[in-house]
Amino acid sequence: MHNTLTEHARCIYGDEYRPTPECDQEHQEHYFTEELTFADADAILAMLRELSPHRVDGQLPVWVRNLSYRLVLLQRPDDPTLMREAAENLWLHGPDWDDIAADLVRRADALDNEDPLGR
């Protein structure tokens, strides 16, 4: 049994920086997808940062990265730093998502420019 989302992802997709651990489980991607879907933002970010620490590397499929950032942003919708990180990920794997990435940056800029006192 995997103790973390990161361990589960590493078993399925491998790790560019470490050997894939021995595992006696049969891996079916839909079980990982279910775990990812209901994971909290911290677990998802830990997986992304450990398995793709420089964003351009790692063996996570593009769809896993995109879904991961989408799920994190749903949980943290007002985090401009995460919006920019997600945008960078989309630009790396675009151009299909360039308009979405640009919108994320616009939203992040707008959040950064908001008056904290609401004026």
SS (H, E, C) the chain: CCCCHHHHHHHHHCCCCCCCCCCCCCCCHHHHHHHHHCCCHHHHHHHHHHHCCCCCCCCCCHHHHHHHHHHHHHHCCCCHHHHHHHHHHHHHCCCCCHHHHHHHHHHHHHHHHCCCCCC
Look up the domain containing 67 and give its range.
Answer: 5-113
User: Which of residues 9 and 19 earns the better pLDDT score?
Assistant: 9
Say yes or no to pLDDT of 75 above 70.
Answer: yes
The better pLDDT of the pair 38, 25 is held by 38
Mean per-residue pLDDT of the chain? 90
pTM of the model: 0.88
Domain-embedded: residue 31: yes
Q: How far apart are CA 92 and CA 49, in angstroms?
A: 16
Q: How confident is the model at residue 50 (pLDDT cuts 50, 70, 90)?
A: very high
Higher pLDDT, 98 or 54: 98
Closest-CA residue to 83 (of 62, 97, 69): 69
Q: What is the pLDDT of residue 49?
A: 94
Establish if 60 belongs to a structural domain: yes
Total domains, the chain: 1
**pLDDT tens per residue across span 87-118:** 999 998 878 899 999 999 999 999 999 866 65
Q: Is residue 45 part of a domain?
A: yes
| Residue 118 is assigned to a structural domain of this protein | no
In a domain, 40, yes or no: yes
**What share of the chain has pLDDT > 70, as a percent?**
95
Q: What are the phi and psi torsion angles at 14 (to 5°)?
A: 85, 180
> Looking at the domain assignment, is residue 64 inside a domain?
yes
User: pLDDT digit string (tens) for 11-28?
Assistant: 999 888 887 777 777 778
Burial of 31 (0-12, 13-18, 19+ CB in 10 A): middle
The pLDDT value given to residue 116:
66
